[in-house]
């Protein structure tokens, strides 16, 4: 009788076996060799562009590090996170795609998963902090005026501690890192949610604190900013030129932040949807050839930020140089 009573619980826990336990070699590629080569070239191009772009942002910012505004300090931190993903993570996956299998074993898999989650979480929390800074600067001037450089550095320390905590939690025994279904990359073990209540609690905590809550703060901040800008555009037109120039600079920083957040979320949302489906839906119903596409799209997020930053910065610089030329010609005529 006792054996019969224990059967249902055992069968419920063994109802789903993760893909990396179903076969002897979880790191063998499940894609064709041609698909792996295409993915390897794609990641190589993304990695080079991301490294050069984010490296350029960091280099140029270091030249004027004492003049950086709090929002610009956050942008530099975002570039550091993206550069970390490109330098620390992408070589592992590039080599594995070209080799048609994951080449670094379980230790390399856990390291790769940790690094990707650490820098990815750092990027999202940095953008959350930037959105709050923009919200206070635009919508609550009485609060926004006291935000100084040292507050930005305190915020950076909190961001790095937050990312370190959530990336390291899986090593405490409540979660894990595991190979992706296609075999040549690693990520958080979303499939733990299929095995136990503890696994579900772990996955839900990750989703809430590292995706849903930061995204909600970002959306709230920029919706409020858009509404505020629409109502205050006419008021700013009546101010003197110094206030107008300050307003233009704040709006330029806000545009950069909004586009960067939009690019990040567009790149990561498909991957988040597939991950949630793997955790709480029917993971085996997601075709392996389809599951690799959101992963590759998410890995390209680090490339967008420097492009967005430089395009808007150049546009702003051109407008500013045009205004300076007009002023200089007016002085000469006088």
pLDDT digits 0-9 by tens, 68-89: 888 788 889 999 999 999 998 8
Asked whether residue 4 is domain-assigned, the answer is no
Phi and psi angles of residue 179, each rounded to the nearest 5 degrees, phi first:
-70, 150
What's this model's pTM, rounded to 2 decimal places?
0.82
Asked whether residue 317 is domain-assigned, the answer is no
pLDDT of residue 331: 40
pLDDT of residue 15: 64
Residue 319 banded pLDDT, cuts 50, 70, 90: very low
Residue 199 banded pLDDT, cuts 50, 70, 90: confident
Arithmetic mean of pLDDT, 125-129: 91
pLDDT of residue 151: 86
Asked whether residue 10 is domain-assigned, the answer is no
Asked whether residue 40 is domain-assigned, the answer is yes
Q: Is the pLDDT of residue 209 over 90?
A: yes
Residue 177 β-bridge partners = 188
pLDDT of residue 234: 52
300: which residues sit within 8 A by CB, 6+ positions away? 46, 267
Rounded distance, CA 42 to CA 44, Å? 5
Q: Is the pLDDT of residue 32 over 60?
A: yes
Higher pLDDT, 174 or 129: 129
Q: Is the pLDDT of residue 37 over 90?
A: yes
Rounded distance, CA 327 to CA 320, Å? 11
CA neighbours closer than 13 Å in the CB half-sphere of residue 299: 30
Arithmetic mean of pLDDT, 299-314: 72
Q: Is the pLDDT of residue 4 over 50?
A: no
The three-class DSSP label of residue 187 is strand
Rounded distance, CA 78 to CA 83, Å? 9
Asked whether residue 27 is domain-assigned, the answer is no
Asked whether residue 211 is domain-assigned, the answer is yes
Asked whether residue 325 is domain-assigned, the answer is no
State the chain's mean pLDDT as an integer: 80
Indicate which CATH number applies to the domain containing 51. 1.20.1070.10
Arithmetic mean of pLDDT, 22-31: 85
pLDDT of residue 187: 93
Q: Are 197 and 205 in contact (CB under 8 A)?
A: no
pLDDT of residue 8: 38
Weakest mean pLDDT among 6-15, 40-49, 85-94, 139-148: 6-15
Q: Is the pLDDT of residue 195 over 50?
A: yes
Beta-strand relationship, 186-188 and 177-179: antiparallel
Q: In which domain, by residue range, is 80 found?
A: 33-232+240-311
pLDDT in tens, 265-288: 888 889 989 988 888 887 777 788
- Structurally, the chain folds into a number of domains equal to 1
Arithmetic mean of pLDDT, 3-7: 40
Asked whether residue 316 is domain-assigned, the answer is no
Arithmetic mean of pLDDT, 138-160: 83
């Amino acid at each position: 009788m006792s054996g019969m009573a224990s059967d249902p619980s055992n069968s419920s826990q063994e109802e789903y076996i993760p893909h990396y336990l179903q076969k002897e070699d979880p790191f063998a590629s499940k894609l064709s060799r041609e698909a792996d080569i295409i993915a390897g070239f794609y990641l190589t191009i993304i990695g080079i562009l991301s490294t050069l772009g984010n490296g350029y942002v960091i280099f140029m910012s270091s030249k004027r590090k004492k003049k950086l505004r709090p929002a610009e300090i956050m942008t530099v931190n975002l570039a550091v996170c993206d550069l970390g993903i490109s330098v620390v993570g992408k070589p592992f996956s590039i080599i594995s795609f070209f080799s048609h299998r994951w080449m670094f074993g379980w230790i390399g898999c856990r390291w790769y998963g940790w690094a990707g989650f650490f820098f990815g979480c750092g990027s999202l929390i940095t953008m959350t902090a930037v959105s709050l800074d923009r919200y206070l600067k635009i919508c609550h001037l009485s609060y926004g005026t006291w935000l100084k450089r040292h507050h930005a550095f305190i915020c950076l320390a909190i961001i790095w501690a937050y990312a370190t905590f959530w990336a390291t939690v899986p090593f405490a025994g409540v979660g894990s890192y595991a190979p992706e279904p296609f075999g040549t990359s690693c990520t958080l073990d979303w499939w733990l949610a299929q095995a136990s209540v503890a696994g579900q609690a772990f996955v839900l905590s990750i989703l809430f604190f590292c995706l849903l809550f930061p995204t909600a703060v970002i959306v709230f901040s920029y919706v409020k900013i858009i509404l505020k800008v629409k109502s205050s555009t006419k008021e700013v037109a009546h101010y003197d030129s110094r206030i107008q120039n300050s307003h233009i600079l704040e709006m330029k920083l806000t545009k950069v932040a909004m586009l960067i957040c939009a690019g990040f979320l567009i790149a990561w949302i498909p991957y988040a949807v597939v991950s949630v489906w793997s955790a709480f839906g029917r993971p085996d119903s997601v075709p392996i050839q389809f599951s690799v596409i959101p992963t590759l799209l998410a890995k390209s997020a680090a490339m967008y930020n420097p492009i967005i930053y430089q395009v808007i910065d150049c546009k702003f610089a051109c407008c500013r140089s045009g205004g300076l030329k007009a002023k200089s010609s007016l002085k000469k005529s006088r």
